[in-house]
């Protein structure tokens, strides 16, 4: 249905945003790409008093490499993630994730900051941020703080963001030559939210040994799930069929998926195991693949 009556403020600077928040308090709702928020207005799932459009605030834009870290501005759109050369080189997992998100017309508007702040447990980018051990820059009128993506997601559609606080940027360590990443998901139709998905990051040394494994799953819990036991099962091992089997076995204790409209918990566990095997198999040296 049509959107409810709302106010609109176009913020051109962070100061504009803070002032709008001071004036309107809890009625002020930040608007970025709007690809989720505006749909919820149509459903009357949210009825903000005033939308504060932050898309023209320069500090929230752009992708840059500085101080040994890749900084992705919160307003970076999914389509930009897919084609940005710095993202492709230093955080290829984000670039690989983008085509899985909805459809081209949505990807031209939706932003990484919006996806992380909304914290849908079946969304790709929160899981990628966890897999890459990203640091989120949170900004409010009170100042800036930095939190790890892993602790940022606190439950269904819930995060550490406090009232008046926004995500300003996502920061990750640039991918090393040893890094391997993959994102895979199962969805009923192209562009749908995943029934289950994996965002995987690890390092493989010259002997094929795994370091710093971070397998994160989406669509299988109330938030992105870092598979700690599967990660422990992989760490320090040579990646081969036995190591993959051990990780798949350990994964059973990492996940406690709720039943949802797609099926029971056991189906989600099964899908997660299949995706884990497929993702890790991609990282095997060519001779292992052939064997």
Q: Which residues of 46-62 are buried (b: 16+ CB within 10 A; e: fewer)?
A: eebebbbbbbebeebbe
According to DSSP, residue 233 is labeled H
By CB under 8 A, residue 106 contacts other proteins: yes
By CB under 8 A, residue 35 contacts other proteins: yes
By CB under 8 A, residue 4 contacts other proteins: yes
**Candidates 105-113, 119-127, 177-185, 244-252 — which segment interacts with other proteins by CB under 8 A?**
105-113
Minimum CB–partner distance for residue 264 and other proteins (Å): 27
**Candidates 156-164, 185-193, 219-227, 266-274 — which segment interacts with other proteins by CB under 8 A?**
185-193
By CB under 8 A, residue 188 contacts other proteins: no
By CB under 8 A, residue 65 contacts other proteins: no
Query: Do the beta carbons of residue 258 and residue 164 sit within 8 Å?
Result: no
- Other beta carbons within 10 angstroms of residue 160's beta carbon come to 15
By CB under 8 A, residue 109 contacts other proteins: yes
Percent helix, strand, coil in the chain, to 5, is 40, 25, 35
By CB under 8 A, residue 5 contacts other proteins: yes
Minimum CB–partner distance for residue 110 and other proteins (Å): 9
**Candidates 34-42, 111-119, 162-170, 251-259 — which segment interacts with other proteins by CB under 8 A?**
34-42
Binding residue for other proteins, selected from 25, 58, 104, 174, defined by CB under 8 A: 104
Closer residue to other proteins (CB): 34 or 62 = 34
Closer residue to other proteins (CB): 107 or 269 = 107
Binding residue for other proteins, selected from 14, 28, 30, 31, defined by CB under 8 A: 31
Total binding residues toward other proteins, as defined by CB under 8 A: 30
Query: Do the beta carbons of residue 223 and residue 126 sit within 8 Å?
Result: yes
Phi (first) and psi of residue 59, to 5 degrees = -65, -20
Closer residue to other proteins (CB): 77 or 268 = 77
Angle at 274 between CA 244 and CA 156, to 5 degrees: 110
**Distance between CA 128 and CA 199 in Å, rounded?**
5
By CB under 8 A, residue 3 contacts other proteins: yes
Query: Do the beta carbons of residue 93 and residue 76 sit within 8 Å?
Result: no
Phi (first) and psi of residue 234, to 5 degrees = -90, -30
Burial class (CB in 10 A: 0-12, 13-18, 19+), 188: exposed
Binding site for other proteins (CB under 8 A): 1-8, 10, 31, 34-35, 38-39, 42-43, 51, 53, 55, 79, 102-106, 108-109, 189-191
């Amino acid at each position: 249905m049509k959107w409810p009556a709302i106010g609109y403020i176009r913020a051109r600077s962070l100061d504009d945003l803070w002032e709008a928040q001071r004036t309107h308090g809890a009625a002020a709702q930040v608007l970025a790409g709007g690809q989720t928020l505006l749909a919820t207005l149509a459903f009357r799932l949210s009825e903000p008093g005033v939308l504060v459009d932050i898309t023209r605030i320069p500090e929230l834009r752009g992708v840059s490499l500085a101080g040994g870290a890749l900084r992705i501005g919160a307003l970076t759109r999914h389509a930009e993630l897919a084609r940005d050369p710095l993202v492709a080189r230093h955080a290829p997992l984000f670039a690989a994730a983008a085509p899985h998100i909805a459809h081209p017309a949505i990807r031209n508007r939706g932003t990484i900051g919006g996806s992380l702040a909304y914290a849908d447990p079946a969304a790709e980018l929160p899981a990628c941020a966890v897999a890459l051990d990203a640091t989120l820059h949170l900004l409010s009128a009170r100042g800036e703080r930095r939190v790890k993506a892993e602790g940022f997601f606190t439950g269904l559609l819930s995060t550490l963001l406090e009232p008046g606080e926004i995500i300003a940027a996502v920061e990750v360590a640039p991918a090393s030559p040893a890094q391997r990443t993959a994102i895979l998901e199962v969805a009923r139709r192209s562009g749908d939210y995943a029934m289950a998905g994996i965002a995987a990051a690890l390092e493989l040394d010259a002997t094929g040994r795994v370091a710093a494994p971070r397998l994160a799953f989406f669509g299988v819990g109330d938030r992105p799930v870092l598979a700690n036991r599967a990660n422990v099962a992989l760490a320090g091992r040579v990646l081969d069929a036995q190591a993959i089997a051990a990780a798949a076995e350990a994964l059973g204790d990492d996940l406690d998926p709720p039943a949802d409209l797609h099926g029971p918990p056991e189906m989600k566990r099964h899908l997660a195991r299949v995706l884990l095997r497929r993702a890790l198999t991609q990282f095997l040296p060519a001779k292992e693949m052939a064997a």
